[in-house]
């Protein structure tokens, strides 16, 4: 691991004023469960690490008007066990409870989870000069692409690894981003970027910016949500396919739906086709099957990941039938 300076920031101001304009200058650290691993493998090599855990006031979950506010440094375990989150944002509670192992959920934070870097084995291999590390090629195209994207169009074919990002995408979520110039609120739907826009990063954050909090509008009582994750190992593992579903119901009729696929694309992937199959319909098994089929209708699987098409078809159907 390359030597680095450590700054235990006491305030957000101190944290952001010590960040630079280059990713190699400084990196923000929350729980460190992803960052430190990346640094040990020389995938991220910052000169300075700015620790946000020492900033007070960033670890909390509170109700504010009709919103639930989650501080950036809130542990994933806390998100999973909070009663406000499980009551109003069930899919998020379920997703957080499914992240990794208890140890990682007790170290890792919600902001670190949504900003974690991809798990693509070509990206994580220091020797492979892939597109994400500034190279010109995505090695998954001609290589082994078992866990890669079926949506997103390349040219880099990672899937986003975060479970909580999938669930947060199913709600009306806003991120608060802070830098030395001020604070801005960004809709979660505008946070992640596809590789065609920037293959080297997964979101819009600049090296000098940090997330301070996540605000989720609490949906009404007639909105239900769920999260289903398929993983190879039951003990703990990243998703090979997941879905977050939220539906606004009126009796058995669905008035609004959000269908977000995880481990399908380089960003949490909204399936408008599946949402259209659900919205305005009485939810029956036939409608659930149609939503599952629609979710994968225009997917473009690669040589080794065609199995994901059937997986997504089934978990979308299962999520719909379980919710009603
Ligand atoms: C064995 C293992 C299994 C795992 N399984 C899963 C899984 O099943 N599902 C899943 O979702 N994840 C999984 N993970 C990933 C794990 O959840 C993440 O490592 C963790 O959530 C990262 O949180 P952290 O607070 O430790 O982030 P850090 O390691 O501190 O940071 C991660 C990244 O986010 C950036 N960052 C952190 N905080 C901020 C902030 N406030 N503002 C801006 N940028 C920030 C950092 O600079 C860094 O690039 C697994 C990890 C391991 C090691």
Query: What pLDDT does 125 receive?
Result: 96
CB 178 less than 6 A from any atom of ligand 1: no
CA of 105, closest atom in ligand 1: 17
Residue with the smallest CA separation from ligand 1 atom 17 is 113
CB 34 less than 6 A from any atom of ligand 1: yes
CB 58 less than 6 A from any atom of ligand 1: no
pLDDT (tens digit, 0 to 9) for every residue of the chain, 324 residues total? 999 999 999 999 999 999 999 999 999 999 999 999 999 999 999 999 999 999 999 999 999 999 999 999 999 999 999 999 999 999 999 999 999 999 999 999 999 999 999 999 999 999 999 999 999 999 999 999 999 999 998 999 999 999 999 999 999 999 999 999 999 999 999 999 999 999 999 999 999 999 999 999 999 999 999 999 999 998 899 999 999 999 999 999 999 999 999 999 999 999 999 999 999 999 999 999 999 999 999 999 999 999 999 999 999 999 999 999
CB 27 less than 6 A from any atom of ligand 1: yes
Q: What is the 3-state secondary structure (H, E, C) of the chain?
A: CCCCEEEECCCHHHHHHCCCCCCCCEEEECCCCCHHHHHHCCCCCCCEEEECCCCCCCCCEEEECCEEEEECCCEHHHHHHCHHHHHHCHHHHHHHHCCCCHHHHHHCEHHHHHHCCCCCCCCCCCCCCEHHHCCCECCCCCCCCCCCCCCCCCCCCCCCCCHHHHHHHCCCEEEEEEECCEEEEEEHHHCECCCCCCCCCCECCCCCCEEEEEEEECCCCCEEEEEEEECCCCCCCCCCEEEEEEEEEECCEEEEEEEEEECCCCCCEECHHHHHHHCCCECCHHHHHHHHHHHHCCCCCCCCCCHHHHHHHHHHHHHHHHHC
CB 109 less than 6 A from any atom of ligand 1: yes
Q: Tell me the CA end-to-end span of the chain in Å, nearest whole number.
A: 51
Query: What pLDDT does 254 receive?
Result: 98
Query: What pLDDT does 4 receive?
Result: 98
The class that CATH gives domain 223-323 is alpha beta
Which mutation among 112, 117, 120, 267 tests ligand 1's pocket best, with the greatest number of atoms within 8 A of CB?
112
Residue with the smallest CA separation from ligand 1 atom 14 is 100
Ligand 1 centroid from CA 164, angstroms: 11
CB 225 less than 6 A from any atom of ligand 1: no
Query: What pLDDT does 235 receive?
Result: 87
CB 246 less than 6 A from any atom of ligand 1: no
Ligand 1 centroid from CA 320, angstroms: 29
CB 115 less than 6 A from any atom of ligand 1: yes
Query: What pLDDT does 234 receive?
Result: 85
CA of 30, closest atom in ligand 1: 30
CB 145 less than 6 A from any atom of ligand 1: no
Query: pTM to 2 decimals?
Result: 0.98
């Amino acid at each position: 691991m390359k030597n680095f300076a450590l700054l235990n920031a006491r305030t957000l101001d101190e944290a952001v004023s010590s960040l630079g304009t280059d990713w190699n200058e400084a990196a923000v650290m929350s729980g460190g469960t992803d960052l430190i691993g990346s640094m040990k493998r020389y995938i991220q090599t910052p000169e300075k690490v700015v620790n946000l855990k020492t900033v007070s006031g960033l670890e909390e979950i509170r109700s504010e008007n009709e919103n639930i506010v989650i501080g950036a440094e809130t542990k994933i375990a806390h998100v999973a066990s909070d009663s406000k989150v499980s009551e109003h944002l069930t899919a998020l509670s379920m997703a957080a409870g499914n992240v990794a192992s208890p140890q990682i959920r007790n170290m890792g934070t919600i902001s670190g989870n949504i900003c974690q870097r991809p798990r693509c084995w070509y990206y994580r291999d220091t020797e492979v000069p892939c597109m994400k590390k500034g190279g010109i090629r995505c090695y998954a195209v001609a290589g082994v692409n078992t866990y890669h994207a079926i949506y997103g169009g390349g040219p880099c074919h990672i899937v986003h690894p975060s479970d909580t990002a999938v669930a947060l995408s199913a709600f009306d979520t806003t991120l608060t981003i802070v830098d030395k110039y001020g604070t801005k609120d960004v809709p979660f739907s505008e946070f992640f970027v596809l590789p065609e826009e920037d293959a080297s990063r997964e979101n819009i954050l600049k090296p000098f910016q940090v997330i301070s909090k996540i605000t989720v509008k609490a949906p009404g009582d007639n909105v239900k949500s769920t999260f289903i994750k398929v993983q190879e190992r039951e003990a703990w593992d990243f998703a090979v396919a997941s879905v977050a579903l939220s539906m606004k119901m009126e009796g058995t009729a669905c008035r609004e739906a959000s269908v977000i696929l995880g481990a399908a694309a380089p960003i949490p992937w909204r399936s408008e086709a599946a949402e259209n199959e659900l919205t305005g319909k009485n939810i029956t098994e036939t409608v659930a099957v149609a939503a599952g089929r629609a979710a994968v209708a225009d997917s473009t699987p690669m040589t080794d990941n065609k199995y994901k098409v059937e997986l997504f078809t089934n978990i979308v159907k299962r999520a719909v039938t379980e919710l009603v």
